[in-house]
């Protein structure tokens, strides 16, 4: 192609997918630009991963401070400890701002041209942003997602329905909250608000909360949250929200739950508003942009990565899909291994999982061996003051291949990375067992669970 374009790679959207992809393309020697309509860092930094974890940190600390006497700390009057939501919002803003500024500095430092405004396709090599036209040899669409508002749950009267975005901006702690959806977002908010002494009700259509987590683990999480007074209705079909009440069908009966606020958390949907993608012939699969394993759309020089392609809606998946798109542009194609994407749920204790659940592995016809190690038998968990949890390992019985690992315990979100490395290197059970884990750490529970699966016995249990 002899045509001169303004850029070699133009990325649309600067969420975790878009900005990391732009940096990668620039570092690979491509003349790169990025367009962002809103705030740099996308949903993840501004209204997703980072702000939720900031709220969770305060909720956990608040609970720990009230329990300080259990750790021999005196002088704290439980009744006098409280959370100042306005100051929590300020802290959240500071954290977000620091990271957003960091993203802009990284883009500049890597010589990515930054364009502010909303991009709209004119043709497959041209976009406009605020009346200005830009051309590029390749485009990478990374426009993310928005909260799905289900049309089958009508909102009647003067409702108090909010999405995760507004839930992160509350200036007062609600007395009660009803959460529609027991996926990761719903459960993380249930955790936050239950620890801030809000009465929490979770309504979930499926029989289990947290569908990506092994059922044995998700049941443990549910029981633990019930101790925190969260009320769960699984198998509940929400019919509508009317004024301040959620009306739902539960065990054959119509019920209603009144709440100060109702959080809609039944999922997210691809965001292509104003992009004009359909008009230039980009194919969709429902709302999401259809892509192949290299993230190419049906127009080969246009890629779509992250939430907008609807594959897996996680920040780290978005950036890895972006790297796959860049390597394809560089003619060194690499694929994303969707069977090895870690998922974390930031509760206290935390949940982290990768690969298949026991049920999924059996349904797929694998001959498996399963090993478990309870955190109760882990010294560091006892020191930490919370022995709730388990490491559950699912292996291929013949080869010792790791099929799935599910962790529930203190700080386990910081541990799942090692399983990701092990799976990526196609490590066997024996290789994980033979890798020395330091003592005393929660991570010692990992080789123990592998021993339980592979040899039928752990050492410390
Ligand atoms: P986004 O982050 O959605 O960014 C898209 C960007 O594109 C936005 O900045 C938008 O302004 C811009 N844009 C859109 N259209 C245009 C246009 N036409 N022109 C220019 N710019 C445009 N994931 C995790 O991995 N871990 C978590 O702990 C986690 N927690 C979450 C908590 C909540 C409450 C929510 C809502 C999500 C959470 N997620 C989490 C999911 C995560 O935020 C998303 O998977 C991730 O942000 C997707 O990244 P992305 O780059 O695809 O898109």
Helical residues (DSSP H) of 122-163, grouped into ranges: none
Q: Is 439 a catalytic site residue? A: yes
134 vs 122: CA distance, rounded Å: 10
> In this model, does residue 1 exceed pLDDT 60?
no
67 Cβ contact partners less than 8 Å away, ≥ 6 residues apart: 385
What's the pLDDT tens digit per position in 150-184?
999 999 999 999 999 999 999 999 999 999 999 99
Closest by alpha carbon to 194, among 180, 173, 213? 173
What's the pLDDT tens digit per position in 4-52?
999 999 999 999 999 999 999 999 999 999 999 999 999 999 999 999 9
Give the mutation target among 136, 144, 270, 318 for probing the ligand 1 site: most ligand atoms within 8 A of CB.
144
Position 272 scores a pLDDT of 98
Q: How many CB atoms lie within 10 A of CB 206?
A: 13
Position 12 scores a pLDDT of 98
Give the mutation target among 12, 40, 42 for probing the ligand 1 site: most ligand atoms within 8 A of CB.
42
105 vs 31: CA distance, rounded Å: 17
Per the CB < 8 A criterion, the answer to whether 244 and 159 are in contact is yes
Helical residues (DSSP H) of 13-84, grouped into ranges: 16-27, 42-47, 49-66
Position 2 scores a pLDDT of 56
Give the mutation target among 12, 13, 319 for probing the ligand 1 site: most ligand atoms within 8 A of CB.
13
Q: Does residue 440 have a cis bond before it (omega within 30 degrees)? A: yes
> In this model, does residue 116 exceed pLDDT 70?
yes
Closest by alpha carbon to 388, among 410, 355, 418? 410
pLDDT category at 192 given cuts 50, 70, 90 is: very high
The percentage of residues in the chain with a pLDDT greater than 70, rounded to a whole number, is 100
Q: Kindly state the average pLDDT of the residues 255-278.
A: 97
Closest by alpha carbon to 50, among 112, 100, 12? 100
What is the residue with the minimal CA distance to atom 12 of ligand 1? Answer: 13
**Spacing, Cα 21 to ligand 1 middle (Å):** 14
167 vs 200: CA distance, rounded Å: 13
39 vs 354: CA distance, rounded Å: 31
What atom of ligand 1 comes closest to residue 13's alpha carbon? 7
**Which of 195, 320, 337, 439 is labelled catalytic?**
439
Q: Kindly state the average pLDDT of the residues 105-110.
A: 98
In the predicted model, what is the mean pLDDT of the chain?
97
**Would the CA dihedral through 124, 127, 133, 134 be positive or negative?**
negative
Terminal-to-terminal C-alpha distance of the chain? 65
Position 143 scores a pLDDT of 98
What atom of ligand 1 comes closest to residue 129's alpha carbon? 19
CA-to-CA dists, residue 24 to 17, 19, 115, 151, 256, angstroms = 11, 9, 17, 39, 50
What is the residue with the minimal CA distance to atom 53 of ligand 1? Answer: 144
What's the pLDDT tens digit per position in 403-443?
999 999 999 999 999 999 999 999 999 999 999 999 999 99
**Spacing, Cα 314 to ligand 1 middle (Å):** 8
98 Cβ contact partners less than 8 Å away, ≥ 6 residues apart: none
What's the pLDDT tens digit per position in 282-339?
999 999 999 999 999 999 999 999 999 999 999 999 999 999 999 999 999 999 999 9
Position 3 scores a pLDDT of 78
19 vs 42: CA distance, rounded Å: 9
The percentage of residues in the chain with a pLDDT greater than 90, rounded to a whole number, is 99
> Residues lining ligand 1, CB < 6 A?
12-18, 35-38, 42-44, 48-49, 52, 118-119, 142-145, 164, 185, 271, 274-275, 306-308, 313-316, 318
What is the residue with the minimal CA distance to atom 36 of ligand 1? Answer: 48
Q: How buried is 133 (Cβ within 10 angstroms: 0-12 exposed, 13-18 middle, 19+ buried)?
A: exposed
DSSP assignment of 406-423: EEEETTGGGTHHHHHHHH
Position 378 scores a pLDDT of 98
Closest by alpha carbon to 344, among 263, 435, 408, 273? 408
Closest by alpha carbon to 307, among 266, 334, 269, 355? 269
What's the pLDDT tens digit per position in 327-379?
999 999 999 999 999 999 999 999 999 999 999 999 999 999 999 999 999 99
What atom of ligand 1 comes closest to residue 268's alpha carbon? 36
């Amino acid at each position: 192609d002899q045509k001169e374009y303004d850029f070699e790679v133009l990325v649309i959207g600067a969420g975790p997918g878009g900005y990391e992809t732009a940096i990668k393309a620039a570092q690979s020697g491509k003349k790169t630009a990025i367009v962002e309509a809103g705030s740099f860092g996308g949903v993840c930094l501004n209204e997703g991963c980072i702000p939720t974890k900031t709220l969770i940190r305060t909720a956990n600390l608040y609970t720990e401070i009230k329990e300080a006497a259990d750790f021999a700390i005196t002088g704290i009057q439980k009744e006098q400890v409280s959370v100042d939501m306005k100051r929590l919002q300020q802290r959240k803003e500071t954290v977000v701002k620091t990271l957003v500024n960091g993203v802009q500095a990284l883009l500049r430092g890597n010589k990515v041209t930054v364009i502010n405004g909303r991009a709209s396709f004119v043709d497959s090599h041209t976009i406009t942003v605020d009346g200005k036209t830009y051309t590029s040899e390749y485009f990478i669409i990374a426009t993310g997602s928005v909260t799905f508002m289900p049309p089958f749950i009508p909102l009647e009267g003067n409702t108090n329905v909010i999405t995760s975005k507004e839930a992160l901006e509350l200036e007062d702690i609600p007395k009660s909250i009803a959460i529609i959806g027991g996926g990761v977002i719903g459960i993380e908010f249930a955790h936050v608000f239950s620890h801030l002494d809000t009465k929490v009700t979770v309504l979930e259509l499926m029989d289990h909360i947290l569908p990506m987590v092994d059922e044995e683990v998700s049941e443990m999480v549910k029981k633990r949250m019930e101790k925190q007074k969260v009320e769960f209705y699984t198998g509940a079909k929400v019919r509508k929200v009317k004024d301040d009440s959620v009306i739902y069908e539960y065990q054959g009966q119509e019920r209603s739950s009144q709440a100060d606020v109702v959080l809609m958390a039944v999922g997210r949907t691809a965001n292509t508003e104003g992009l004009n993608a359909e008009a230039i012939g980009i194919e969709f699969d429902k709302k999401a942009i259809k892509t192949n394993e290299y993230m190419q759309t049906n127009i080969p020089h246009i890629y779509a990565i992250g939430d907008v392609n609807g594959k897996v809606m996680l920040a780290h998946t978005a950036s890895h899909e972006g790297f796959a798109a860049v390597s394809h542009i560089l003619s060194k194609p690499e694929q994303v291994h969707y069977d090895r994407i870690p998922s974390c749920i930031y509760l206290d204790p935390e949940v982290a999982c990768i690969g298949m659940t026991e049920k999924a592995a059996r349904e797929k016809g694998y001959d498996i061996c399963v090993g478990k190690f309870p955190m109760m038998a882990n010294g560091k968990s006892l020191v930490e003051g919370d022995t709730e949890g388990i490491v559950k390992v699912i292996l291929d019985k013949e080869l010792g291949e790791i099929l799935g690992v599910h962790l529930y315990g203190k700080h386990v979100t910081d541990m799942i990375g090692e399983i990701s490395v092990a799976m990526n290197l196609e490590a066997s059970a024996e290789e994980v067992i033979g890798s020395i884990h330091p003592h005393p750490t929660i991570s010692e529970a990992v080789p123990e669970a592998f021993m339980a699966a592979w040899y039928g016995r752990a050492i410390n249990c």
